[in-house]
Structure 1
Amino acid sequence: MKHLFILLSCLILSAGAALAQDRGRAGREVPVIDAMPGGAGSHPVELSAVPPEVLSSARQAVAGVVVTKAEWFNGDDGRVYNLTGGRFQRSYTIWVRSDGKLLHVQSDDRGD
C-alpha cells in the first residue's frame, strides 16, 4: 500500500510539472532552428546587409566601435547577429537580436 501511494504521488507530481512547463510556453512559440531559413550554424553577411537597428544597438553598447565583420545565426528568439570590431586597443564581439535588442558584449585586448 505504501508503494502504491509513493507511485501515485510521483505520477501526480510529474503530471503537474509537465502542465506547468506547457503553460510557461503559452503564447510564445519557440521556432525550430532547422525549420528556420538558414538552418543551424553561423552565416557570414556583408555589413551593408545588417539591419540599421542592429548596428545602432551595437554602437550604443560600445561608443566608437568600428564594426568590421558580421555573421548571423538562428537563436532561440529568432535571428541573432554576431558583430566583430574594435576600438583603440580592444577588440569587441557584440551579439544583437534582429530587432535591435542587445544580448551580450565581450571585449579582449588586441595584444598588438
Structure 2
Amino acid sequence: MSAFIFKLLDKSYQISIKSDYSDRMLLLSKELNKKARQLQKNQGILEERQVLIYLSFMLIDELDLYVQGDKSPEEKRGEIRELRQRTLEMTEQIEDIKAGLKVDNFNLLDSSTEGSNQ
C-alpha cells in the first residue's frame, strides 16, 4: 500500500512541475474516482479504503493551494464547497462499502455454519 501512495505522490510532484494546480487536482480527483470504482466492483480491502480517505484529504490540500491564486473570495469558497461535497460523497461511499463488507462477511459465516450443522 505504501508503494501505491509514494507512486501517487511522485506522480503528483512530477505533474506540479509541468502544470498548474487545477490540473493536479483534476488528476488526483480522477485517481480517487478510479479507486472508488474498483472498490465498488471488488468490495476492496481495508488498505484500499484507507488510500481513498488519504486521497480525499490530498484533494483538499491541493484545492487549498489552488485557490490561493488570483480569484475572488466567492470563487474560492465555491471551489472549496465543491471539493468538500465530493469528499463527503466519497466518504459516504466508503462507509457503504464497509457496511457491505461486514454484511457479506456475516452472511458467509452464517452459510458456513449452516453447512457444518447439516
- Say which structure is richer in strand: 1
TM range (shorter): under 0.3
- Point out which structure has higher relative CO (alpha carbons under 8 A, 6+ apart): 2
Normalization by structure 1: what TM-score?
A: 0.23
